[in-house]
Structure 1
Amino acid sequence: MTRDRQVRVVVADDQEVVRAGFAALLDIQPDLTVVGTAADGAEAVALCREHHPDVVLMDVRMPTMDGIEATRLITTDTTTENPPRILILTTFDLDEHVYDALVAGASGFLLKDVTAERLFDAVRIVASGGALLAPGITRRLISEFARLRPRITSPLLAELTPREIDVLRLMAEGLTNAEIAPRLVVSEETVKTHVSRVLRKLGLRDRVQAVVTAYESGLVTPRSENHTGTR
């Protein structure tokens, strides 16, 4: 995404100082515009239907409607061709509620003590169709909570070719396209094509949902060792 395109953002958090702070930071950037702020999930859903933002910064724990249900409603809204991308705001990196939000369709999450530059980059990444999948945090979160859930087998996995299964497994390990290419002895462009086909066949929006699917279906086995909540 070029800086010429305005990225429209909604900030949803029940703490006024938090949402005002994030909104003020985002508005500093010439390519980022905050089109609304919400104190709960219901307000966030309403703002999305009114303003059609590109990205929503969404807190998880909010009154009236939490961020999980709001994420589900926003990402599955059939009244808009391109629903907003959701970035979850959280205090703890290993948070089961954040995992539920990723399952509901969020494209990643940020800790609330994120630096300004990291915040700006994250918003731009998800607005351009990418997903935040830092191996040290997001994949560990998915692995931790996926192993505690009943296995859900997606019949759509049967539509993937053996090579696409290989790509999905490597995506679930947190590898980028550039890292997957030498593992499979193919070009990065070929990997990109495989990733696009995996997402299309499974009906997924981005890599985060692909990783969740890989773990929840049992295609990738979560690590069994105990984790702490620190990074």
Structure 2
Amino acid sequence: MIGTPVRPDHDQPGTAGAGQVGILLVDDHAIVRQGLTTILQREPDLVVVAEASSSAEAMRAVERTRPDIVLMDLKLSSSSDSEGIELCGELTRAHPGLGVLVLTTFLDDQLVLRAIRAGAKGYVVKDVDTSALIQAIRDVSRGGSAFDARSAAAMVRGLNAPPVDASARLTQREEEVLVLLAHGMSNRDIGRELFISETTAKFHVGNILRKLGVSSRAEAVYEGGKLGLLG
């Protein structure tokens, strides 16, 4: 049935018919996904083909259902406000034709730029009205881009902002974590090395990515090396 929500790894995924836009919803809150499905299933040209609550689920769902659009939050866990940035980069690299539209509560100038650099085609905040969200989905599905007024303004501010020396922004602990990233350590290994939890290590890694304006651990090491943070 068109618009029937499907939970990844549990039910048979839905499919988009001819002329319909298949959408994968990625948000760690089930109630948000349910609300979005209720809104989107009213539109005859939009169909939710799958849902995901994490990066791993999202990657599997894209491979399985081949959506046209991924409508995703940036915060997919309690330990990071921008895990979705890395997911966005992974998805767009693996599936160049995929349209990623960010729907989030976070509106930070550099975060908007990072999402765009990671391949996102649009960025809207969660208090956008229903008609604007639906229009944004349709615009991205047609190969365009979509930003609400505040996101567009944030993007312009971010582009015009003077460069900031990241070395002045990383804390001592974050610099320690960056050095361990350069040695190829996982979050678990970093936690053991620094006597902190794996979740805390992941939180520090997320902060490092955000502050350096990158979307992957490898890019963080590269940028950290250029800034002389690796000794």
Structure 1 residues 7-156: aligned runs within 5 Å: 7-63=21-77, 66-77=83-94, 80=95, 83-94=97-108, 96-134=110-148, 136-146=149-159, 147-149=161-163
TM-superposed deviation, 1:133: 4.2
TM-superposed deviation, 1:97: 2.9
Question: Partners of 1:139 and 1:60 in 2: how far apart?
Answer: 17
Does the CA-based 8 Å contact 1:74-1:83 persist in structure 2?
Answer: no
CA gap of 1:50–1:148, structure 2 versus 1, over 3 A, is: farther
- Normalising by structure 2, we get a TM-score of 0.56
Question: Partners of 1:116 and 1:139 in 2: how far apart?
Answer: 18
Question: Partners of 1:14 and 1:123 in 2: how far apart?
Answer: 20
Does the CA-based 8 Å contact 2:109-2:157 persist in structure 1?
Answer: no
Does the CA-based 8 Å contact 1:8-1:32 persist in structure 2?
Answer: yes
Does the CA-based 8 Å contact 1:85-1:106 persist in structure 2?
Answer: yes
- Structure 2: 5+ residue runs without aligned partners? 1-16, 166-231
How well do the aligned residues superpose, as a CA RMSD in angstroms?
2.5
The residue number in structure 2 matching 1:177 is none
CA gap of 1:149–1:11, structure 2 versus 1, over 3 A, is: farther
Residue 146 of structure 2 aligns to a residue in which SS? Answer: coil
The residue number in structure 2 matching 1:206 is none
Amino acid at match of 1:48: V
CA gap of 1:43–1:148, structure 2 versus 1, over 3 A, is: farther
TM-superposed deviation, 1:93: 3.2
TM-superposed deviation, 1:110: 1.4
CA gap of 1:37–1:97, structure 2 versus 1, over 3 A, is: same
Post-superposition Cα deviations, 1:45-81, rounded to whole Å, max 9, x if no partner, equal 221111111111110011299211111011111xx5x
Does the CA-based 8 Å contact 1:40-1:66 persist in structure 2?
Answer: no
Structure 1 residues 82-231: aligned runs within 5 Å: 83-94=97-108, 96-134=110-148, 136-146=149-159, 147-149=161-163
Residue 135 of structure 2 aligns to a residue in which SS? Answer: helix
What is the aligned-residue identity percentage? Answer: 33
- Structure 1: 5+ residue runs without aligned partners? 152-231
Question: Partners of 2:164 and 2:124 in 1: how far apart?
Answer: 27
Find the structure with the greater CA-based Rg: 2
TM-superposed deviation, 1:120: 1.2
Question: Partners of 1:92 and 1:66 in 2: how far apart?
Answer: 12
Does the CA-based 8 Å contact 1:76-1:83 persist in structure 2?
Answer: no
The residue number in structure 1 matching 2:8 is none
Does the CA-based 8 Å contact 1:9-1:55 persist in structure 2?
Answer: yes
Question: Partners of 1:112 and 1:133 in 2: how far apart?
Answer: 12
